[in-house]
């Protein structure tokens, strides 16, 4: 193996470990009065799939129960804390999350195998900033 081949292989490994964010529905700038920031309580709908098989392992949409959590403080996997920043209410994103930013080598029970890349389709329904509650 020569240096060029090693460099290409190294770049491939680094690129595959990055969070990928795709915007499925963008909110027009004039309608986006607030974007998500660390410390915001957010309300989301999501559907999670395994990248390899596209098998759905969880969906708030199917349950009709949005998830509420505080963004950017470790209440959810790192891929969500990073991938849901600067999002507008009504925006939809597809997050492709490498294992390092999801459940890593341990997986999650019988549902998510070790070293699984996950795909989440998300929709931001509501933002409550900490200062809004005063």
pLDDT digits (tens, 9 = 90+) for 51-81: 999 999 999 999 999 999 999 999 999 999 9
What beta strand segments (E) does the chain contain?
20-25, 41-50, 56-59, 67-70, 92-97, 118-128
Annotated catalytic sites, by residue? 46, 57-58, 77, 103, 120
How confident is the prediction for the chain on average, in pLDDT? Answer: 88
Question: Higher confidence at residue 88 or residue 4?
Answer: 88
Question: What H or E segment, with its residue span, contains residue 4?
Answer: helix 3-16
Distance CA 73, CA 17 (A): 21
Answer whether 0.95 is exceeded by the pTM. no
């Amino acid at each position: 193996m020569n240096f060029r081949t090693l460099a290409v292989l190294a770049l491939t490994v680094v690129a595959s470990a990055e969070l990928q964010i795709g915007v499925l529905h963008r909110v027009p700038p004039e309608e986006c009065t607030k974007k998500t920031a660390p410390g915001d309580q957010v309300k989301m709908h999501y559907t999670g799939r395994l990248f390899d098989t596209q098998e759905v392992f969880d969906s708030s949409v199917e349950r009709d129960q949005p998830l509420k959590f505080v963004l950017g403080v470790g209440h959810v996997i790192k891929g969500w804390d990073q991938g849901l920043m600067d999002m507008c209410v009504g925006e939809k994103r597809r997050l492709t999350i490498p294992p390092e930013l999801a459940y890593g080598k341990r997986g999650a029970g019988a549902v998510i195998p070790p070293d699984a890349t996950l795909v989440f389709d998300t929709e931001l329904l509501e933002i409550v900033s900490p200062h809004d509650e005063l």
